Structure 1
Amino acid sequence: MPAFEERQSERQRERQRERQRERQTERQTERQKVRFASGDTSCAAWHYPGTNGGCVIMAGGTSVTKEPASDLFAARFNAAGFAVLAFDHRRFGESGGSPRQIVSIREQIDDWHAAIECAAGLPDVDPDRIAVWGFSLAGGHVFRVAAGHPRLACAIAQTPLVDGRAVAPHALRCMTPSAALRLFGLGIGDTLGSLVGRPPLLVPTAGPRGAVASLTTPDAMDGDRALDPSGRHTGWEQTVAARIALGLGGYRPGRHASRIRCPLLVVVCDQDQSVLPGPAVLAARKAPRSEVVRLPGRHYAPFLESHERAVAAEISFLERHAGSRVPG
């Protein structure tokens, strides 16, 4: 395709996404803020009432709060009849917990379990038709959560981080040596400081190569234009405690794939530089009832140029496994 036509096509897609966001803003007036207990605090969530008995529980990766993480997909799932429960992990967004901006894998997995319990008690939800959806780090959580909840109707992991050990060397190569040393120095200082009650040392969640940030892969900076192109989410704090640099390399939720009994959809992007497509495909093969959808593009392509293909595949999957309740 000539460069001019390609630019025209991208502008048309962007206008289409903007119209879609406008329609979503209208629909979002129907959603309701709810809170549910998790650990010694509570998590904030949006509940979109549904009509078919199914419910999709949604959350974003690392520091991404519920609105930029889920708005683009939640409205489409809801329009297809599904209830949605989109929540903030504790210590992020409107959820409780302090100190803030700390990623604790154990706590976040507990938050998912609490969200499932909350969804099962909603009046418009059939407890046997609950699905979980997450992307990036939360996509990895989906593997852990689905393995521990055999009653789930299905699970969707979109561009998931399934093997930190496989991804870490690539992430390090995307950093300059000086930035990597400074990040790990901050990570050690943050961890030691936490032992004596000091506030977290925060770093940007994403940055360009050379920046001291949690992630500096070539597609890390696509997040703003993918998740918040209009700058509407002014409360979204895009920072994370530096100790994350010491922990994610050992996070390998894909190892739980063989224990997932519900249908699992894994959406990967072939040019993903943040979590890499290969580990997710390998993990999906170990899940007994898995499907893989491969899309062109980088880590955030399901929110950008591959959005319609991603939405179509995910709604089809949800309708097959979590929808179609016959009114009684």
Structure 2
Amino acid sequence: MSVVREKVRFSSGDTECAAWHYPGFNGGCVIMAGGFAVTKEPGTDPFAERFAGAGFTVLAFDHRRLGDSGGAPRQVVRIRDELADWRAAIGFAATLPGVDPGKLALWGFSLSGGHVLRIAAGDRRVAAAIAQTPNADCQAIVRNAARHQTPLAMLRLTGLGVLDALGGLFGRPPLLVPLNGEPGSVAFLTTPDAQDTGQALNPGNRYPQWQQAAAARFALWLGFYRPGRRASRIQCPLLVLVCDQDTSALAAPAAAAADRAPRGELVRLPGGHYQPFLSGHEQAVTAELSFLRRHLLDRPPADPDDTTAGTAAHRPE
């Protein structure tokens, strides 16, 4: 499918985030970002193109310090900053041409799926949210990941994390660790379905500019992030898509989040973490488009006197 898009930028904190803007025609807008250290192209292209083809405006962005976005040091992932980027993206999306500020939806997978749960729980500008194979409980994820790693490799990753965190205090360049690898290698994920990352997100090295590594310090903080615990506060419709054999993000905590959300809906697919990018893609995107149509297109237009939307200007790069 061929869709039109343009590169835009919006302010977030003291830097700028880069994004693809896909113009739509039905008033709804889907705000998207990739998973842990996954840039917007490998992380969102297959779904963004389908959403845009169905008439939705799409804003697919890179978190700060990743991809085309600004910020330094590069490849450093900080949850607090990424959450701020999502809030800035929501404000910017509300100003895009043809977008009804009352019809803003969020879409994220893996770590960004966890961000979707967190943001939707506290931002009333969000009309609907999709969390695809989300990291709903990173404490459980870390425990499970340990079952697929050797003790020595875990110790080395922790040591690198400590060295990287200390080096960051003195302005040293980040110590980078691969996003995935075989058990026994030093990598953030060595689970069975982590081995599908390339096939799912970067087939044939389609995105050679994607740097598949992140600063080691993130390993020290991941287990403290449990966004699914806030699901009961999500007032907008929430679609949680889980894969039953997901060994990277785990299906059970995500399904529990859907159950706690007052307007939660759950879709289950067979397969591992990346199944929605592989043979389960059509089933996943069909369920997500149905959800978006039901909860965005059937909504009344936003009140023109509503002042909760962001005021950032639409600015092509």
TM-score normalised to structure 2 length: 0.93
Of the three residues 217, 225, 232, the one matched with 2:199 is 225
Q: Which residue matches 1:299?
A: 273
Q: Could you report, residue by residue, the CA deviation over 1:267-325 in whole angstroms, capped at 9, with x for unpaired residues? A: 00000000110011111111100000000110000000111110110000000011257
Alpha-carbon distance between aligned partners in 2 of 1:325 and 1:49, rounded to the nearest angstrom: 20
Alpha-carbon distance between aligned partners in 1 of 2:229 and 2:144, rounded to the nearest angstrom: 20
Give the SS at the match of 1:262: coil
| 1:119-268 correspondence to structure 2 within 5 Å | 119-268=93-242
Q: Which residue matches 1:57?
A: 31
One-letter code of the match for 2:190? T
One-letter code of the match for 1:194? G
Alpha-carbon distance between aligned partners in 2 of 1:92 and 1:311, rounded to the nearest angstrom: 26
Alpha-carbon distance between aligned partners in 2 of 1:223 and 1:300, rounded to the nearest angstrom: 7
Do residues 319 (structure 1) and 293 (structure 2) align?
yes
Alpha-carbon distance between aligned partners in 1 of 2:206 and 2:200, rounded to the nearest angstrom: 12
Alpha-carbon distance between aligned partners in 2 of 1:240 and 1:277, rounded to the nearest angstrom: 24
| Unmatched 5+ stretches in structure 1 | 1-22
One-letter code of the match for 1:313? A
Q: State the shift of 1:177 in Å.
A: 1.0
Alpha-carbon distance between aligned partners in 1 of 2:188 and 2:239, rounded to the nearest angstrom: 27
Seq. identity, %:
64
Give the SS at the match of 2:182: coil
Give the SS at the match of 1:230: helix
Displacement over 3 Å in runs of 4+: 324-327
Of the three residues 52, 55, 65, the one matched with 1:81 is 55
Of the three residues 240, 246, 250, the one matched with 1:276 is 250
Give the SS at the match of 1:145: helix
Q: State the shift of 1:230 in Å.
A: 2.5
Give the SS at the match of 1:159: strand
Q: State the shift of 1:169 in Å.
A: 1.0
Q: State the shift of 1:81 in Å.
A: 0.8
**1:322–1:268: structure 2 CA closer, same or farther, 3 Å change rule?**
same
Of the three residues 16, 32, 35, the one matched with 1:42 is 16
Q: Could you report, residue by residue, the CA deviation over 1:72-131 in whole angstroms, capped at 9, with x for unpaired residues? A: 001111111100000000000000000010110000000000000000001111000000
One-letter code of the match for 2:213? T
Alpha-carbon distance between aligned partners in 2 of 1:158 and 1:314, rounded to the nearest angstrom: 9
Alpha-carbon distance between aligned partners in 2 of 1:325 and 1:116, rounded to the nearest angstrom: 18
Alpha-carbon distance between aligned partners in 2 of 1:297 and 1:117, rounded to the nearest angstrom: 35
| 1:102-121 correspondence to structure 2 within 5 Å | 102-121=76-95
Alpha-carbon distance between aligned partners in 1 of 2:16 and 2:271, rounded to the nearest angstrom: 36
Give the SS at the match of 1:298: coil
Alpha-carbon distance between aligned partners in 2 of 1:297 and 1:289, rounded to the nearest angstrom: 25
One-letter code of the match for 1:46? W
Give the SS at the match of 2:43: helix
Does the 8 A contact of 1:297 with 1:305 survive in 2? no
Q: State the shift of 1:326 in Å.
A: 8.3
Do residues 32 (structure 1) and 6 (structure 2) align?
yes
Corresponding pairs, count: 301
| Unmatched 5+ stretches in structure 2 | 302-317
Q: Could you report, residue by residue, the CA deviation over 1:190-227 in whole angstroms, capped at 9, with x for unpaired residues? A: 11111111111000011111110011111112111111
Q: Which residue matches 1:14?
A: none
TM-score normalised to structure 1 length: 0.90
Alpha-carbon distance between aligned partners in 2 of 1:326 and 1:119, rounded to the nearest angstrom: 18
One-letter code of the match for 1:33? K
Alpha-carbon distance between aligned partners in 2 of 1:299 and 1:112, rounded to the nearest angstrom: 23
* Greater relative contact order (Cα < 8 A, sep 6+): 2
Q: Which residue matches 1:13?
A: none
Give the SS at the match of 1:127: coil
Q: Which has the higher helix share?
A: 1
Of the three residues 283, 294, 305, the one matched with 1:309 is 283
Q: Which residue matches 1:4?
A: none
